[in-house]
Amino acid sequence: MTAHEYNFDGLVGPTHNYSGLSFGNIASTQNQGAVANPREAALQGLAKMKALMDLGFKQGVFAPQQRPDLATLRRLGFGGSDRAVLEAAARESRAIFNSTLSASSMWTANAATVSPSANTADGRVHFSVANLAQNFHRSIEHPTTARVLRAMFPGDTHFAHHAALPATPAFGDEGAANHTRFCPVIGAPGVEFFVYGCVGFDGRAPRPQKYPARQSLEASQAIARRHGLSSARSVFAQQNPDAIDQGVFHNDVIAVGHRNVLFCHEQAFLDRAATHAELREKCGDGFTIVEVPAARVSVADAVGTYLFNSQLLSKPGGGIAIVVPQECRNHPRVSAVLDELVASGGPIDQALVFDLRQSMMNGGGPACLRLRVELNAAEAAATNPGVILTPALHAALCDWVGRHYRDRMADADLLDPELPAQVCTALDELTRILQLGSVYPFQLDA
């Protein structure tokens, strides 16, 4: 049965701002307090989606979260009317207030871990919603994420949905940003590669010292168990702790894979030789590792340009394209590596470059923005058609953004008492455009 890889890109939310909430994400903290442009951010993302759709790639849309998250503020003891809750939170703890206005759900690589039916024991596509327990502003996403995923992939005939793992560091889970599937062709059985930053229940095991490890071995193992993955189809490897301490907060900042290709930095993994050997053994003939030496691109360069926070896509006519942000072309050494990669005669033979500056300033590149889902023909037919990008949907979403999004979001603008109602109005319309049904709590008072 024919299968395709679909990339579901996160639609940037109306409250996109630079609050610097993500410790360990260098771009996020360095740009704290900068003035954001939500409209431009959303349109940049939509332009990337449309360009890939026009090139023949399967493209979908992932809806943002409702922000501010008033329910969370009420759980934290802020009471009264909606306006009173927001005013009290802003007054008493600006960090908490800003966290509940974060638009970080745009990075759907963190939404869930996905195993295709070709790999799972029951022959269904499995989704495990990530708990994102390391950062408060992201830990509140998973209830809405779960509802959105169920609206996108409804029913239990073809799809299995799993709740987030326990929200504790020992089971810290950041989703597909630390997961890659390798296979000879899309739709065939393959190997799932889980990369973790620490061993949650072993304080003596190696771990970063400066920044937190966001994915634990225990979380990755739990996901593999409940997705029904065999040991022959799973590889677990530890990320290099030194790289995490240099700003590589997810594996997808320093490595990306697709089909039978792994594109990575020399310093991506703690035990480089053992990791490469196990992947080659389990993936078999045809598996290729394209490794960039540190002498050519430093970890700092990788973090600054997001060379590896890229997408690898099988082109309809053959070959593999790499999708990178404009920052890669702006950096002479990284740009030269891209040119050599494309000209090398290897599997990656084209570079596609996009302006994603609004997302990049908050620490998210092309790979962060998308969740990969492999679907065979029956599974694709069962998927909600409202979330699959078409020229008409792209035009409708651009019009929707133009009518509902602001072109400026400074820190002070988050205090605007009209903002919550404006967001709800926008998202209410979006649920109809994407045919999602009731996935948001809404319930604003007058």
Give the residue numbers annotated as catalytic, written as ranges.
Answer: 174, 250, 368
> Tokens in use for 115?
């195993």
Q: Are 355 and 165 in contact (CB under 8 A)?
A: no
Distance separating alpha carbons of residues 442 and 1, to the nearest angstrom: 41
The single-letter code of the amino acid at 293 is: P
Start-to-end CA distance of the chain, whole Å, equals: 52
What values do phi and psi take at 425, rounded to 5? -60, -45
Distance separating alpha carbons of residues 446 and 437, to the nearest angstrom: 23
> Taking CA 114 as the corner, what is the angle to CA 110 and CA 116, rounded to the nearest 5 degrees?
160
Residues whose CB is less than 8 angstroms from the CB of residue 60 and which lie 6 or more positions away in sequence, other chains included: 6, 7, 8, 9, 152, 373, 387, 388, 389
